[in-house]
Structure 1
Amino acid sequence: MDLVKAAAEVREHAWAPYSRFKVGAAIRAASGTVYLGCNVENVAYPEGTCAEAGAIAAMVAGGDTVIEEIAVIADSPEPVPCCGGCRQKIAEFADGDVKVTLATTEGKTRTLTVAELLPGVFSAAHMDRA
Structure 2
Amino acid sequence: MDDDELIDHAREATASAHVPYSEYRVGAALETADGTVFLGCNIENANYSNSLHAEEVALAEAVKNGHHDFARLAVASSERDGVLPCGMCRQSLSEFCDDDLRVLCDEEDSKSEYRLGELLPDAISAETLGR
TM-score of the pair, normalised by structure 2: 0.90
Secondary structure, aligned partner of 1:122 = coil
For residues 97 and 36 of structure 1, the distance between their equivalents in structure 2, rounded to whole angstroms, comes to 20
Q: CA deviation at 1:77?
A: 6.3
Q: Any conservation in 1 of the 2:80–2:106 contact (CA below 8 Å)?
A: no
- Report 1:72-87 matches (<5 A): 72-76=75-79, 78-87=81-90
Q: Tell me the equivalent position of 1:120.
A: 122
Q: Any conservation in 1 of the 2:17–2:43 contact (CA below 8 Å)?
A: yes
The number of residues matched between the two structures is 128
Q: Tell me the equivalent position of 1:108.
A: 110
The C-alpha deviation readout for 1:5-35, integer Å capped at 9, x for no partner, is: 0000111110011100000000011222100
Report the identity percentage: 39
CA RMSD of aligned residues (A): 1.4
Q: Which has the higher helix share?
A: 2
For residues 82 and 62 of structure 1, the distance between their equivalents in structure 2, rounded to whole angstroms, comes to 22
| Structure 2 spans left out of the alignment, 5+ residues | none
| Structure 1 spans left out of the alignment, 5+ residues | none
Query: What amino acid is the match of 1:29?
Result: T
TM-score of the pair, normalised by structure 1: 0.91
Q: CA deviation at 1:75?
A: 3.1
- Does residue 32 of the first structure (1) align with residue 35 of the second (2)? yes
